[in-house]
Structure 1
Amino acid sequence: MAAEPVFVPRAGQVDYTHIRYAPVLDAVVVCRGKVLLLQRSGGMRSYPNHWCGISGYLDDHRSVEDKARQEMLEEVGITADRILSMQRGTVLLQEAPDYGKSWLVVPILVRVDDRRYQLDWESQAADWFTMAEAMELPLLPGFDAVITQYRDVVDRG
């Protein structure tokens, strides 16, 4: 299992590696009554082997929606033309004392038109789950609060 590469910020990008409060997006991707969850690679510095949505730091000038599109392409190969809609949820503060972090999480519901995906190095597995199945997985701490914001949408299909 490969170790997570060292983060090197691009011009205009903030490095939140050693900053207590870090804004992130957490995309809940849904298609026909199921949610796409990724299992983080064992070599990740934080939360290895946990299941989660598609996430990323809000570390530059881009909007949440633009950042979600970027992360979707990078992490699962979903292009912008396959995204049917996006809807922001309620922002959450999630404390992570084991990592010395306080995550400012911006949930975003992303509806896609099909269930195709292709994983990058950040994840070792992925699959489509019903809400009930998702809640049985070893989820990233606090992700249950993110995903349950969209329980009705997923359950309706």
Structure 2
Amino acid sequence: MNKVLRTTHVVTCFLQRTDLDQPQILLVQRSQRVGSYHQHWAGISGFVEPGVTPDEQALVEIREETGLNVDQVHLLRRGGVVEHRDEELGRHFYIHPFLFLVLAPEEIRLDWEATEMRWVKPAELSSYQTVPKLSEAYEAAIKGE
């Protein structure tokens, strides 16, 4: 019998920089202090709070986790929702993916949620131990709604 999973909406923001030889996206390694997927690599992400739209939450997470302000990023695309069922956590995740251009990558300052950051080529995503469905979320963000 399937266990009832708690519906959980999250945002995942892919921050892209284009000032290098090839576009790269930011991956952050989740700390032991976050609720799940410790040490896994992820985009900038977080729960969508009640009464807040995913678009608004995306900007909140970027500000909290990187220190970047709204004028230091530019929304390129919003992707279609990617679903992930995690029986162990008892959650049915609805991932809202976003692709942002970072205008000031040198200004990024990580908060407590991540221990490390790396700029990687999107094709390298598969060589990292990532949170579930990160590659699918990235593809959705690239494709757009």
TM-score after normalising by structure 1: 0.79
The aligned counterpart of 2:78 is 88
Q: Is the 8 A contact 1:88 1:108 kept in 2?
A: yes
2:42 maps to 1:52: yes
Q: Using the TM superposition, give the Cα deviation of residue 44 of structure 1 relative to its aligned residue in structure 2, in angstroms.
A: 2.6
Q: Using the TM superposition, give the Cα deviation of residue 151 of structure 1 relative to its aligned residue in structure 2, in angstroms.
A: 5.5
Please tell me the residue identity of whatever aligns with 1:25.
V
Alpha carbons of structure 1 residues 61 and 152: separation in structure 2 relative to 1, 3 Å: closer
Q: Which runs of 5+ in 1 are unaligned?
A: 1-18
TM-score after normalising by structure 2: 0.85
CA-atom RMSD in angstroms: 1.9
Q: Which runs of 5+ in 2 are unaligned?
A: none
The aligned counterpart of 2:16 is 30
Q: Using the TM superposition, give the Cα deviation of residue 75 of structure 1 relative to its aligned residue in structure 2, in angstroms.
A: 0.4
Aligned length: 135
Question: Counterparts of 1:38 and 1:101 in 2: how far apart (Å)?
Answer: 22
Alpha carbons of structure 1 residues 138 and 60: separation in structure 2 relative to 1, 3 Å: same
Alpha carbons of structure 1 residues 67 and 39: separation in structure 2 relative to 1, 3 Å: same
Question: Counterparts of 1:115 and 1:34 in 2: how far apart (Å)?
Answer: 11
Note the 1:86-125 alignment, pairs <5 A.
86-116=76-106, 117-125=108-116
Alpha carbons of structure 1 residues 57 and 119: separation in structure 2 relative to 1, 3 Å: same
* Counterpart pick for 1:78 among 68, 76, 79: 68
1:108-142 Cα deviation digits (max 9, x unpaired): 11112132210100101011110122221101011
The runs of 4+ residues in structure 1 deviating greater than 6 Å are none
The aligned counterpart of 1:126 is 117
Q: Is the 8 A contact 1:92 1:106 kept in 2?
A: yes
Question: Counterparts of 2:94 and 2:137 in 1: how far apart (Å)?
Answer: 12
Q: Using the TM superposition, give the Cα deviation of residue 86 of structure 1 relative to its aligned residue in structure 2, in angstroms.
A: 4.0
